[in-house]
Homo-oligomer: A and B are copies of this chain.
């Protein structure tokens, strides 16, 4: 019987170990590295790296390169959180139950720590030496896909729209489009990365993209619901913040019950996209359900 909790913990540990080594082995242990470590090791769910690994597993044996690339994805995610939390953006004090990077250090350090994590991600992606089994072209393809997803046509445009929309009302379409950009693109890049490095073909990658897009939206709905219904102690940040800021959310547009239903539809779509894969994709299936039912 597959136990998701053990699977998640096992992979979280693996990822944490690599992330630890990345920065602990550095000769530079100055303030910038302390800030990078602080945010990187603040106990995230490691969803993007785990999706990267699980997507690779769905296809076949997982080369070590997948783990390294998975860590690069987590660095990009962490950088985006550090910058989103800044006073000029969301102005958040807490993240994952701890003071945000600019609170713990200072604003300049937080901006630079974010910059440094983003840059380190590309350093990692370009330094994977497993070129005996994976061609350099593949790595370039991964770098292209990740940079595109994280850039001004992806995650960054999503954040711009998120900031611009505060206090204004959005249609459901605009909300979905914003989330697709802000979180969906990097989640999609995570499954693409795993699939590319484990030798996935175009059809497999297309199906994984559909999976990713659907769990990405379901993930956001759960986020919105947790901000209303969740336990701030479990989540690690204040709840009710969305309403306070008059943020556009699924529950604010659709109500709680309709939002839950929509989330279920997205998860069904995600599971359906996995139909072409065999049992090796079971982790992806369980993750999809976890995303809907999670409490933090």
Contact = CB atoms under 8 A, between A and B. Distances in A.
A31 interface: yes
A143 to B, nearest CB: 4
A118 interface: yes
A109 B119 CA distance: 19
A160 B122 contact: no
Nearest to A125: B143
Interface of A: 26-28, 30-33, 36, 79, 83, 86, 88-89, 106-109, 111-112, 114-116, 118-120, 122-123, 125-127, 131, 135-137, 139-141, 143-144, 147-148, 150-153, 156-157, 159-160, 163-164
Nearest to A137: B136
Contacts of A115: 79, 83, 114-115, 118, 156
Given A28-B157, A83-B111, A120 B151 contact: yes
A160 to B, nearest CB: 5
Contacts of A148: 123
A116 B28 contact: no
A111 B140 contact: no
